[in-house]
């Protein structure tokens, strides 16, 4: 009886340790990157896909440009991550502008397929008096693989394009300054899937910390193993409760 009780206690402690570590892993988030002045964030943008400036996750890149220019950056994203892009444009002096302007933020995958924003405000109109305009785009979670016909976000390089889509002709060419940041939230094991694919045109960007196809860890592992441990505990408990005590042998 004592050995059975010890076994049940050991299994219970193992289950508690398992779920504690699972919670810690799920709650972990990437460490914040160093300030731009320390991490060498780029201060220029490319003018097309082929010249897109490489940007690390968490960096804040800046670029001086003219109103109407197309500005391009690229950054990496791996399976299980949900990329988020934010762009802020410091507009020309209000006295030099002749009306409102519409700015647009687009994100493309390594095959140059435009990816829809799951949330955010990728297009915004700035009034003639606004000093800045901020655009945001959060993509769907990057998948480790996909059907050929699908337009799912896949591991690899992602391109950011920032540009003006509508403004008075007289305002084209006025100086602006753009600031862009690309981050990625870990979607966790609930989004984990089997399979993997070769990163899309990712030679120029650095592989994410957890690899292109994500970390092997997911909370699905925790729940699977934890369920097995709890099942074993239930079986041991049932055995202890239903076991008939032995009667002492008669002399």
Residue 244 lies in a domain: no
Q: What is the CATH number of the domain that holds 159?
A: 2.60.120.380
Mean pLDDT over residues 56-70, rounded?
Answer: 96
- 204: pLDDT confidence band, cut at 50, 70 and 90? confident
**Alpha carbon distance, N-terminus to C-terminus of the chain:** 23
Bridge partners (DSSP) listed for residue 85: 137, 182
Q: pLDDT tens, 88-146?
A: 999 999 999 999 999 999 999 999 999 999 999 999 999 999 999 999 999 999 998 88
Mean pLDDT over residues 159-175, rounded?
Answer: 97
Q: What is the pLDDT of residue 193?
A: 56
Q: Is the pLDDT of residue 177 over 70?
A: yes
| Full strand arrangement of the beta sheet holding 123-126 | 53-54, 71-77, 156-166, 101-108, 123-126
Q: What is the pLDDT of residue 30?
A: 37
Q: Is the pLDDT of residue 229 over 80?
A: no
Mean pLDDT over residues 174-185, rounded?
Answer: 97
| Contact (CB, 8 A) for 24 and 143 | no
Q: What is the pLDDT of residue 15?
A: 41
Same-domain status, 12 and 108: no
| Contact (CB, 8 A) for 215 and 88 | no
Q: Work out how many domains the chain is built from and give that number.
A: 2
CA 107 from chain centre, in angstroms, equals: 14
CA atoms within 13 A on the CB side of 230: 10
Same-domain status, 170 and 230: no
Same-domain status, 85 and 192: yes
**Residue 139: closest CA among 157, 123, 120, 156:** 120
Same-domain status, 111 and 204: yes
Same-domain status, 89 and 68: yes
- 39: pLDDT confidence band, cut at 50, 70 and 90? low
- Check the CA dihedral 87-93-94-97 and report its sign: negative
């Amino acid at each position: 009886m004592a050995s059975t009780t010890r076994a049940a206690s050991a299994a219970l402690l193992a289950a508690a340790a398992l779920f504690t570590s699972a919670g810690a892993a799920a709650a972990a988030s990437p460490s914040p990157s160093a300030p731009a002045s320390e991490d060498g964030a780029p201060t220029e943008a490319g003018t097309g896909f082929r010249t897109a400036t490489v940007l690390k996750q968490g960096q804040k890149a800046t670029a001086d440009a003219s109103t109407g220019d197309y500005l391009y950056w690229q950054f990496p994203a791996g399976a299980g991550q949900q990329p988020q892009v934010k762009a802020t444009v410091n507009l020309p002096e209000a006295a030099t502008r002749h009306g409102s302007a519409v700015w647009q933020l687009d994100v493309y995958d390594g095959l140059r397929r435009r990816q829809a924003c799951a949330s955010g405000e990728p297009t915004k109109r700035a009034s003639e008096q606004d000093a800045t305009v901020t655009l945001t785009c959060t993509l769907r979670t990057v998948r480790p693989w996909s059907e050929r016909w699908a337009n799912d976000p896949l591991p690899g390089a992602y391109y950011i394009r920032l540009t003006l889509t509508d403004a008075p002709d007289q305002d084209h060419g006025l100086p602006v300054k753009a600031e862009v940041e690309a981050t990625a939230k870990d979607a966790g094991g609930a989004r984990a899937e089997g399979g993997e694919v070769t990163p899309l045109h990712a030679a120029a960007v650095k592989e994410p910390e957890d690899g292109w196809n994500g970390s092997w860890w997911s909370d699905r592992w925790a729940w699977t193993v934890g369920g097995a441990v709890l099942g074993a505990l239930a079986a041991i408990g049932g055995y202890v409760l239903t076991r008939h005590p032995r009667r002492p042998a008669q002399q």
